[in-house]
Amino acid sequence: MGIRVFDGWSILHFISGFLSTSALIPTHPYLSAVITNIIHLMVELIEKEKNPYTNEILESTINHITDVIFFFIGSVLAILYGHKLFINNQPSRYFVLILMFFCFSQETLRELFPYNWIIGPTYQRK
């Protein structure tokens, strides 16, 4: 979430792209990249851009685009190098998958229930 082209979340998108693509299906990195990038794009598309209470911009269009690009770059590096990390290391792979599932669930549910999500609402009244 941000309004600038590049922010701290850009790095997190890069790392998420690398880890999720590496861990999802390590024996088929191209398929893993397609699946993870489609899921990530869907999450970006449901994210809200403005706070309806204050009309404050939460995330700009250019930031959405760069988030998708950084996730994709992470996926490309995972195809080239990362999938080898998890082929023979199942405990680490499962840990990363659980972590990615938690992050995906939290982001998606927060966007679907922005007014009353238990971890922290998307929208705050000022």
Q: What are the extents of the domains in the chain?
A: 8-112
Q: Please name the amino acid found at residue 53.
A: Y
pLDDT in tens, 31-66: 999 999 999 999 888 887 777 777 777 778 888 899
Over residues 116-124, the mean pLDDT reads 59
**% of the chain surpassing 70 pLDDT:** 88
User: Is pTM beyond 0.75 here?
Assistant: yes
Four-residue CA torsion sign, 12, 63, 7, 119: negative
- For 57, phi then psi, to 5°, come to -75, 125
Over residues 91-101, the mean pLDDT reads 92
Q: What is the mean pLDDT of the chain?
A: 84
- For 60, phi then psi, to 5°, come to -85, 160
> Cα–chain-centroid distance for residue 17?
7
Integer Cα distance of 36 and 41 in angstroms: 9
Integer Cα distance of 26 and 125 in angstroms: 44
Please report which confidence band the pLDDT of residue 123 belongs to, taking 50, 70 and 90 as the band edges.
Answer: low
Unique residue bearing structure tokens 């996730």: 71
